[in-house]
């Protein structure tokens, strides 16, 4: 039994020794496996460091848009950034950022083990991630090359890229890249844009207090922003300055002085001319689709024709004179509207509004929406009539008339606006234009032909499809405000149509000029025709004209225009021009749901007149020059013919020299024959062949109302 126990004890000890050997072997194997895994990791890591190339990291830059004088209008960006070189970044900002974000930046090689250890301890105590321990180099590699997902694989690649950054670039290059790349709040990316957003100055002009405040924002830009909380911003600035002093970047006196300096904010910029800028982007896209795809991150420079002063005047006129708004079912304020202003001599778009509020609706009504222009379209009918050598004194009777309708059996019967549908009297072109007579306009449409009117509209700048029917003369077809403005500019420019132009120069980020556009003008009308039509349109501002009173906004400046109102007052227009500027204003509900509170003159007119008055404030007064083929002549107010010897009721009117009416042979003065020669010796027709300077007031385009208004002397 004793032997058995001995053998049992021996067997037990053997099993224990075997178990110990097995455990020891397992530990050894595990250690070897761990060592092998570590070796593999280090090998793979080193291989990645050696062979994995740094990806290309284009830093998105904002495209800058400038006005005609080189003043900034807008920045187009995914990330609003302007990259600046290290030489433009003051040392105070660099030191402030290093002090508050990565105090051992200049001593580590991409990783700060102390910071990582401190972050781990703090996060464990808090039970959540409060601190990351990342260095400036790590943050730059992550922002440039990687996403912000939290995975082991992403962290490994970040370590690799960080080491490669440290191996390839100097500390100053890494810090400069970081300052140009990071987000500073309020849509500002990079230190240059941030400096301008907060202090209205270039980063190179920052002082110590401003640099410290910016550096303090990096941890949480929106939270520490002085626009949101000045108290938090100042506390953060004080912390940054304290760290700078602790690390030897500044002394006590500099810290105290910077802490006592008040913060003067520039104010967050408001959106300027957003409808114009959106049109510029679309315009560039038609010629350079590849640039349009990259324009919000490509860092281009776009020099445009917009005049910021005129744009401001347009926005102020819109704000002040647009009808009181109300929300529609889509939450968009109605009525909406548009304004387009073009320089006739160049085609430069100087101001453009496409709606009441860009934040509400980005639909650009200046060129994307077509609406009936009402009587504003009559300018094309009368341009055709004058160009076909019909004199301004030729009359049509305003009386009931009907034309074939759009469908078989229908009849179209035009009437005038207001309580009296007909004047029952002959009206000259000038009078019909001034009072916007509908019936007479349709008679002229029948005289010259709707297709002819459509052709004149097309060559004067209307690209929309037009229905060649009698109602076309009254604006039955839809057009855009831009098209009507081009037509007005054509008349102002003496019959030369300017191509609307927005982009003068487009430059890529490296300074290469991609395109540089020049003025394009096409003669489409006889200069005399344009002058005569302009003269008639000036009568719209006379006492009985549809725009009477609006000329007061422009003082003594010669101005021509045509009002337009559609049926049920759904749309209101005023299309007009001076020698220097053409402008169209449209107002109406997007869905045509409701009528407007008045006519074109009452609704669109004040917006147009207020803008034109302000836009011309610093422009010298100028008038249209009398063309060689046009003359002012005395006309018998009773017959409309050239005044004869006995025409005592007379006024001056303008004619093409090849379309003068005959001399009135009526004897308006009954005297004995023997006395006539004594009273009227060698009478000369006034106004014919006399120098223009003898009739300086003739340009004011006197009006004649054979119905009820008195004759106005020139």
Residues with a known catalytic role: 101, 375
Number of helices (H), then strands (E), in the chain: 22, 23
Are 414 and 474 spatial neighbours (Cβ–Cβ below 8 Å)?
yes
Are 636 and 629 spatial neighbours (Cβ–Cβ below 8 Å)?
no
- C-alpha 558: how far from its chain's center? 28
Are 487 and 457 spatial neighbours (Cβ–Cβ below 8 Å)?
yes
Helix (H) or strand (E) holding 674: helix 673-679
419, 420, 456, 529 from 524: Cα distances, Å = 39, 38, 9, 11
**DSSP code of residue 691:** -
| Contacts of range 642-646, beta carbons closer than 8 Å, 24 or more positions apart | 642/685, 642/688, 643/685, 643/686, 644/668, 644/685, 645/669, 645/680, 645/683, 646/680
For 648-667, the DSSP string reads -SEEEEEEEGGGPPPBP---
3-state class of 631 per DSSP?
strand
d(CA 94, CA 634): 81
d(CA 357, CA 182): 31
d(CA 600, CA 566): 9
In this structure, what token pair is assigned to residue 338?
A: 């548009």
User: Which residue stretches of 80-132 are H helix?
Assistant: 91-101, 113-126
User: Which residue stretches of 53-112 are H helix?
Assistant: 91-101
259, 315, 379, 588, 606 from 319: Cα distances, Å = 42, 6, 29, 15, 11
d(CA 587, CA 601): 11
Residues with Cβ within 8 Å of residue 197, at least 6 apart in sequence: 184, 185, 186, 187, 188, 266, 268, 269
Tracing tokens 């759904």 back to the chain, one arrives at: 570
d(CA 465, CA 303): 32
- C-alpha 381: how far from its chain's center? 32
Q: What is the largest CA-CA distance in the chain?
A: 183
In this structure, what token pair is assigned to residue 508?
A: 């890529």
């Amino acid at each position: 039994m004793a032997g058995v126990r001995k053998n049992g004890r021996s067997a037990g000890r053997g099993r224990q020794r075997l178990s110990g050997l097995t455990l020891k072997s397992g530990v050894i194997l595990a250690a070897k496996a761990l060592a092998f895994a570590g070796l593999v990791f280090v090998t793979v890591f080193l291989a990645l460091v050696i062979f994995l190339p740094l990806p290309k990291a284009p830093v998105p830059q904002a495209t800058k848009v400038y006005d005609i004088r080189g003043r900034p209008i807008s920045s187009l960006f995914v990330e609003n950034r302007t990259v600046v070189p290290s030489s433009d970044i003051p040392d105070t900002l660099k030191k402030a950022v290093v002090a508050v974000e990565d105090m051992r930046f200049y001593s580590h090689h991409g990783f700060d083990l102390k910071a990582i250890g401190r972050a781990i301890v703090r996060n464990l105590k808090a039970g959540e991630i409060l601190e990351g321990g990342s260095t400036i180099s790590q943050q730059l590699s992550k922002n440039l090359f990687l996403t912000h997902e939290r995975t082991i694989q992403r962290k490994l690649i970040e370590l690799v890229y960080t080491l490669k950054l440290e191996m390839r670039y100097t500390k100053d290059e890494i810090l400069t890249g970081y300052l140009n790349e990071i987000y500073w709040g309020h849509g500002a990316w990079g230190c240059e844009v941030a400096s301008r957003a907060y202090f209205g100055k270039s980063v190179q002009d920052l002082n110590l207090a401003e640099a410290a405040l910016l550096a303090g924002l990096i941890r949480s830009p929106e939270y520490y922003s002085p626009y949101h909380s000045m108290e938090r911003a100042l506390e953060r600035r004080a912390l940054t300055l304290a760290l700078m002093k602790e690390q030897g970047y500044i002394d006590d006196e500099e810290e105290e002085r910077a802490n006592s300096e008040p913060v003067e904010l520039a104010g967050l910029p408001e959106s300027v001319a957003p409808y114009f800028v959106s049109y510029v982007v679309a315009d560039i896209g038609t010629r350079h689709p590849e640039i349009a795809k990259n324009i919000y991150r490509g860092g281009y420079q776009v020099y445009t024709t917009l005049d910021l002063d005129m744009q401001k005047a347009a926005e102020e006129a819109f704000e002040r004179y647009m009808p009181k708004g109300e929300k529609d079912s889509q939450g968009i304020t109605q009525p909406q509207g548009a304004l387009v202003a073009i320089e006739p001599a160049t085609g430069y778009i100087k101001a453009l509004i496409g709606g009441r509020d860009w934040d509400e609706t980005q639909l650009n009504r200046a060129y994307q929406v077509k609406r009936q222009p009402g009587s504003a379209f009559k300018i094309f009918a009368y341009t055709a009539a004058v160009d076909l050598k019909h004199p301004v004194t030729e009359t049509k009777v305003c009386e009931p008339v009907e034309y074939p309708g759009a469908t078989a059996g229908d009849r179209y019967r035009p009437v005038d606006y207001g309580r009296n549908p007909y004047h029952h009297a002959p009206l000259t072109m000038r009078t019909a234009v001034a009072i916007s007579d509908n019936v007479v306009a349709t008679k002229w449409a029948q005289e010259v032909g709707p297709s002819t009117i459509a052709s004149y509209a097309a060559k004067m700048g209307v690209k929309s499809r037009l229905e060649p029917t009698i109602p076309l003369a009254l604006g039955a077809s839809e057009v855009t405000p831009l098209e009507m403005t081009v037509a007005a500019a054509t008349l102002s420019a003496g019959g030369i149509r300017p191509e609307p132009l927005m982009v003068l120069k487009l430059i890529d980020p490296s300074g290469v000029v991609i395109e540089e556009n020049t003025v394009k003008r096409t003669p489409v009308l006889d200069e005399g025709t344009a002058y005569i039509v302009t003269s008639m349109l000036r009568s719209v501002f006379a006492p009985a004209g549809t725009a009477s009173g609006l000329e007061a906004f422009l003082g003594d400046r010669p101005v021509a225009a045509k009002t337009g109102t559609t049926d049920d007052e759904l749309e209101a227009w005023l299309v007009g021009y001076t020698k220097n500027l053409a402008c169209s204003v449209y107002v109406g509900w997007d869905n045509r749901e409701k009528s407007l509170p008045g006519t074109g003159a009452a609704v669109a007119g004040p917006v147009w007149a207020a803008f034109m008055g302000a836009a011309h404030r610093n422009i010298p007064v100028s008038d249209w020059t009398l063309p060689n083929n046009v003359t002012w002549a005395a006309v018998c107010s009773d017959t409309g013919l050239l005044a004869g010897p006995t025409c005592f009721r007379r006024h001056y009117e303008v004619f093409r020299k090849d379309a003068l009416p005959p001399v009135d042979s009526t004897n308006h003065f009954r005297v004995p024959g023997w006395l006539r020669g004594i009273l009227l010796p060698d009478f000369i027709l006034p106004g014919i062949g006399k120098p223009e300077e003898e009739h300086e007031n003739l340009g004011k385009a006197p009006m004649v109302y054979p119905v009820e208004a008195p004759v106005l002397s020139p």
